[in-house]
Structure formats: C-alpha cells, structure tokens
Amino acid sequence: MEIEQGAGGKAAGGEGEGGNGVPVEAGAELAIASRILADLGVFDAAGHVSMRHPGNPQRFLMSRSLAPALVTADDIMEFTLESTPCDARGRTPFIERYLHGEIYRKRPDVMGIAHGHSPAVIPFGLTSTPMRATYHNAAFLAAGVPVFDIRDRFGVTDIVISSAERGAGAADALGDKAVVLLRAHGFIAVGPGIQAAVFRAVFTEISARVQLQAAALGGSIAALDAEEGRLADAINLATVGRSWELWKRRVTT
C-alpha cells in the first residue's frame, strides 16, 4: 500500500514514480489542473484541487500548501482518506485537505475535486436564489446545487474546513451532486476524473455569471431541467478533452 513512498524510481507494480513518491503522470496532470484553475481566474491565491490516487482508491493526491498558480509536480503529496500525509517530508499540507478526504471517503465515484472562491459564485451561497444550469456547459448543475452553511452544524466558526468533522459536514451537504456551495466561503466541484472536476469548476463560475445577468433581466429562467442536464452532461464528459487541451496549452508553454 505504501509503494509510492519509495525514493523514486519504479514502483513495485511497474508504474513510474517521481522522487516524491507520487505517480509521475498523475502528479503532472494534477499540477496542470491547479495552474489551469488559477490561469482561468477560478482560483485566487488559495484554491486547491485533488485527485484520487490512480493506483489506490484509499489515497488521494494534492499539492502542498502553495498558491495554485505555482504548483508543479514536485509539490504533489499523497494522503490517506483520513487526510493524513503519507510522507510529508517537511512539506506543509493545506489546512482544508479534510474536505477532499471526506468526499473521497463518501463518494467512491468521485475521482477529482476542486475547491475555490470565485467571486461570481459566492452570491449564490449568500442568498436564497438556487444555482441553475444556464446552458449546456453547466449541465451538471441541473441536478441541483445544495448550500453548506457551516453555522447549521458548527455554530460560529472561522469558516475554514479545518477538521474531518467539518469536511464530513461539507461532504454530507454535497450528497450525490456535482457541486456544493459553502456559505460566505466558496464552492466544491467534483467529477469522475480530474479533467471533469476542472471543467465543472470552470463552468460553475461561468454559469454563475450568466445567471446573475439573467436574474437582472427579471422573470423566470428557462434553464436546463434535470433530464436535459443529465443528457447534456454526458456529452460534456465525452468531449472534456478538447477544453482540457486548450487550457493546458496556456499553462505549459
């Protein structure tokens, strides 16, 4: 179970690993995901993205505490589902890693998670207006977007998801959905892969902007209904690579 923690070289199973014990390809892809979300303005200096370990579903990979725009493969750490670093080597993990661990624990289908604080999304966690799927790219929102208000379970706090208990609260609020909003804090988007999680984080932010504008026009909004959303989301997942390749070029050249 600990084979990724070797001093680099090849893992017992033959999969390539970097010097930090993380599978080379996975670490590189996760670092790119982090830089993409910073480049597109979804992440400020403090968002974070993770992926389930491709070789061990009881582990996940995530950057050390670092501005997401600066993350490279060398910054990726491995964690247990208790959000404990497998081999910290002096690196400081993100304080909010618990929201990742608790979601991976409760949602075996989730392979990637992004957490950010996009300004356009915050209003929907502060008001009673539910987020809608304003267009096909945001089809994953059509199933509903719950809001996690940390006050409901934990009273007055510093808002930070800094414990397994708080992480479990956020994971419970997420339920079986693709996105959960955190009141006065931000949002979490999940997906069946790291590219899908990034795609959903991006279009959560864009759809929020679209809905804010549609709301200003007044009247009802003919958003995607649940079944339209389910059908359109399947198309999005099948074609996510096109967006990924485009976004990747911007942060790797």
Query: Among all residues, which ones are annotated catalytic?
Result: 96
> Which span sits near its own copies by CB under 8 A: 21-29, 49-57, 79-87, 181-189?
181-189
> Which span sits near its own copies by CB under 8 A: 10-18, 121-129, 163-171, 188-196?
121-129
Tokens linked to 227: 């079944």
Interaxial angle between packed helices 97-106 and 164-174, expressed in degrees from 0 to 180 and rounded to the nearest 10: 50
Cross-strand partners of 74: none
**What minimum distance in Å lies between the beta carbon of 100 and its own copies?**
18
Task: Check binding of 119 to its own copies (CB under 8 A).
Answer: yes
Q: What would the x/- binding string for its own copies be over residues 211 to 230, using CB under 8 A?
A: -xxxxxxxxxxxxxx-xx--
Task: Check binding of 253 to its own copies (CB under 8 A).
Answer: no
Please select the residue that binds its own copies; options are 177, 183, 192, 193, rule is CB under 8 A. Answer: 183
Could you give the CA distance from residue 34 to residue 61 in angstroms, rounded to a whole number?
A: 12
Interaxial angle between packed helices 24-39 and 226-252, expressed in degrees from 0 to 180 and rounded to the nearest 10: 100
Total chain residues near its own copies (CB under 8 A): 66
SS3 162: coil
Tokens linked to 99: 């929201």
Please select the residue that binds its own copies; options are 9, 90, 109, 128, rule is CB under 8 A. Answer: 128
Please select the residue that binds its own copies; options are 134, 166, 169, 197, rule is CB under 8 A. Answer: 134
Task: Check binding of 137 to its own copies (CB under 8 A).
Answer: yes
Cross-strand partners of 80: 59
Task: Check binding of 210 to its own copies (CB under 8 A).
Answer: yes
Exposure string of 152-179, with b = 16+ CB inside 10 Å and e = fewer, is eeeeeeeeebbbbebbbbbbebbeebbb
**What minimum distance in Å lies between the beta carbon of 193 and its own copies?**
17
Cβ closest to its own copies, residue 12 vs residue 222: 222
Tokens linked to 228: 């339209």
Task: Check binding of 127 to its own copies (CB under 8 A).
Answer: yes
